[in-house]
Amino acid sequence: MSEAEVPFGTGDSSFQAAGGLDGIRSLVDDFYRIMDESREAEIIRGMHPPDLKESRDKLTLFLSGWLGGPKLFAEKYGPIKIPMAHKHLAIGSNERDAWLLCMKKAIQNRPYSEAFADYLLAQLRIPADRVLQVSRDPGSD
């Protein structure tokens, strides 16, 4: 079936639309390159370790399972709950918006259909909002 016929979120259709593991890896590499280079993302970049190698690996493997593909994060690193994994960080709405902006730019650089690009960003906003709720909000809301 073509992409137009299978709703995203069914089976591994989102994983496939994202370009499988290689596509997700490219997306995440670009996401962290953009975070590293953009002034708006300086604060959230500073929350990460200086070397982003493990951050890239973790987000890539997590997104694989999250998009309906192989659950590679759990296999390598064990179980994870995204909001709790960020509880120690001070993430307010500015930090959430900076994260989503880096994702938006990285998604735009991928050869995705407009429908999938819009869907993916909208879906990522859901856990991003949950992260915001559990984090110690520095008062930017």
Which positions touch ligand HEM (CB under 6 A)?
Answer: 44, 47-49, 55, 58-59, 62, 77, 80, 82, 85-86, 89, 91, 95-96, 99, 124, 127-128, 131-132
- Which residue number, 4 or 84, has a Cβ lying nearer to ligand HEM? 84
- Which residue number, 2 or 24, has a Cβ lying nearer to ligand HEM? 24
What dihedral angle (degrees, nearest 10) is formed by the CA atoms of 129, 132, 138, 139? Answer: 40
Q: 3-state DSSP helix/strand/coil percent for the chain, to nearest 5?
A: 65, 0, 35
- Which residue number, 49 or 111, has a Cβ lying nearer to ligand HEM? 49
- Which residue number, 2 or 104, has a Cβ lying nearer to ligand HEM? 104
105 close to 122: Cβ distance less than 8 angstroms: no
Q: Least Å distance between CB 115 and ligand HEM?
A: 20
Q: Least Å distance between CB 34 and ligand HEM?
A: 13
Environment class of residue 19 by beta-carbon count within 10 Å: exposed (0-12), middle (13-18) or buried (19+)?
middle
